A and B are shown apart, each in its own frame.
Chain A
Amino acid sequence: MDITRQRSFLHDEAQFARALARASAGAIIFALPLLMTMEMWELGFYMDRFRLALFILVTLPVLFGLSYFAGFEETFCWQDDLIDALSAFAVGFLMSAALLTVFAIVRLDQPLPEIIGKIALQSVPASIGAMLARKQLGQQDDSDKERRIRSSYPGELFLMGAGALFVGFNVAPTEEMILISYKMSPWHAVALAVLSLGLLHVFVYTVGFAGQESAGDDGFLSVFLRFSVAGYGIALLISLYLLWTFERIAGLSMMELVTATVVLGFPSALGAATARLIV
């Protein structure tokens, strides 16, 4: 009976309507910084169409994974997660469309691909925000089942990746990412990389990932390698992917490319480290 009652969250009309409202709030709050960022509007129309399409495609599995681990409703089978993910995308897309229209960024006299590009790009952070809304704004009931899923190692890596993507995405579109890397010497870059890794490790320890209870016995080196180094690696890969998506790396020398990745890797690493807080 207990499980049946929990199932009702996704199957009860009123409950689901409440969840949608909460998701809408989450979409606005989490996507607001990017909705009001000039570079995002411009990227929406000039960035490579295939890279944007790929970015949207990548979003769905991320939403699916977030639904599996956090979701705005308790889910028990993959169909539920898919419904969750698609609903979050719908909420994110519609909220972005509404706000961009109110801001007069999107106007009906613009060509359709331009309108779709602007809204679709914004719907990535907005739909992730919609998905996170349950955890942040709603009441949370950490069932034993959920906790068990979360403490699996691949699950932790996924959460770190999602956290890195979300926080990294919040700053990746801005010119400053490249500008900062231009100003930095190689030694600054090394210092930033060490700082990122150090903070990531401290955060993993103090924020306390689910796997930590057991990891505590494994000693410093094990936690450091399994979570901190792996997490920083994921953060750097996601940073590189974001820079590539936003066409920030074309024509950069190897040194500049690495520096830019390390610069964006800093917020991404913090996102990975605090994924437990955000997600």
Chain B
Amino acid sequence: MADIRENDIESRDEDGSASVSRLAWISSGVGLLLFLGSVGVLGYEGITRGSGPPAITAVVEEVVPAGPRWLAHIRVTNDGGKTGAKVQVEGQLMAGDEALETSVAEFDYVPAGSEQKGGLFFDRDPRAHDLRLRVLGYVEP
């Protein structure tokens, strides 16, 4: 066994080139690619993403029945430069200037440049009323 291996090495040394195995080249090549890739993406993101405060907006995606109640699927988007934590979103069913019902959802994190989903439950059908969404506030993580 040892003899065979030694012969192997000798023949490879005679070739003079590619003494490092192909697998080693592949794995280190992949490593280099991932290394440069992740540093590149992070660096690019750091440069292009502003450093301004979170700019968080909420929209209603759809309203579906949920048992005897109603569920409004909501989506919050952060177009600002920083992540907002503990983001509270309040939904109010309005009849004129009067709020019939208020529900609140809190998102642990809304990362900069991304969106999160959630839902608000109501006793009345939100489609029959004016559903007003407000992003109440956030804290810095």
Contact = CB atoms under 8 A, between A and B. Distances in A.
Interface range, A side: 35 or more
Interface residues of B, number: 40
A52 B49 CA distance: 14
Contact of A16 (B9, B23, B45, B113): B23
A145 interface: no
Interface stretch (B28-36, B118-126, B129-137): B28-36
A111 B43 CA distance: 15
Interface in A80-107: 80, 82-91, 93-94
Nearest to B111: A45
Nearest to B21: A13
Contacts, number: 129
Contact of B35 (A11, A86, A110): A86
Nearest to B112: A46
Contact of B27 (A7, A20, A50, A111): A20
A46 B23 contact: no
Given A13-B22, A86-B35, A45 B42 contact: no
A180 to B, nearest CB: 19
Interface in B11-40: 12-13, 19-25, 27-32, 34-35, 37-39
A86 B30 CA distance: 8
A10 B39 contact: no
A241 B85 CA distance: 24
Contact of A90 (B8, B12, B20, B30): B30
A210 B5 CA distance: 34
Contacts of A11: 9, 12, 19-21, 24
Contacts of B111: 45-46, 111, 114
Contacts of A111: 111, 113-114
Nearest to A48: B46
A85 to B, nearest CB: 8
A183 interface: no
Interface in A196-211: none
A172 to B, nearest CB: 16
Contact of B42 (A46, A94, A113): A113
Interface in A21-58: 42, 45-46, 48-50, 52-53, 56-57
A257 to B, nearest CB: 18
A60 B31 CA distance: 10
Interface in B35-57: 35, 37-39, 41-43, 45-46, 49
Interface in A144-159: none
A53 B22 contact: no
Interface of A: 1, 4-5, 7-8, 10-13, 16-17, 20, 42, 45-46, 48-50, 52-53, 56-57, 60, 79-80, 82-91, 93-94, 110-114, 116-117, 119-120, 123
